[in-house]
Amino acid sequence: MSNEENAKQEEIIQPEQPEQNNEPAANQIKESASNLLNSFLSLKETNPKVFFGAIAGVVILLVILMSSGGGSSKPALQGNVLKNLALGQRYSLKSANAYDPSATVRLVSTPGAIASYDDTEDADRNGICQHMPQGTQVSVLDFADAFGKQNAYAKIKIEDGDCKGTEAWALAIDIQ
């Protein structure tokens, strides 16, 4: 036998050992993504209808997903709601438009006057029983319609504090 034949037999006789891959997994992922991208781009040249159809399908799917919203999983907005107030019942004043607990509720002598008041004068701002602190206990005596809304104003009687017994008008939404 020649040396070449002996070498071939030795190659055949030697047990095959599995090749150890020294490349990191990140490189393998990059190569597979690159191969996938190359095969997708080669589809553009071999079958353009399928290529552009796939792109259109992905775009349509994304538009549907973005426009579908979230269903009914969103909580309902909670805002100030006009309560069904009853005559003679006790309630407390709470400013519907203020987050500051030290905010006051404006009381006026006639319904509808609140839309035109200007409290730039000290007398308007510091007048007796015109600005009541939140939480003041009141009783509802009467209602008035304004601006196309029923019971927009409520005539109240103050039940505690320095102005106890005073009657005035307040926005019904400020009575909770």
- pLDDT for the residue numbered 167: 92
- pLDDT for the residue numbered 58: 94
Work out the percent of the chain whose per-residue pLDDT is above 90.
17
**Cβ atoms of residues 114 and 130 within 8 Å:** no
Q: What share of the chain is helix, strand, coil (3-state, %, to 5)?
A: 40, 20, 40
Q: Residue range 40-50: average pLDDT? A: 87
Question: Collapsing DSSP states into helix, strand and coil, what is residue 17?
Answer: coil
pLDDT, tens digit, for every residue of 104-120? 888 888 887 765 555 55
Predicted model pTM:
0.50
pLDDT, tens digit, for every residue of 140-165? 999 888 877 888 889 999 998 888 99
Question: 155 is written with which tokens?
Answer: 């005539």
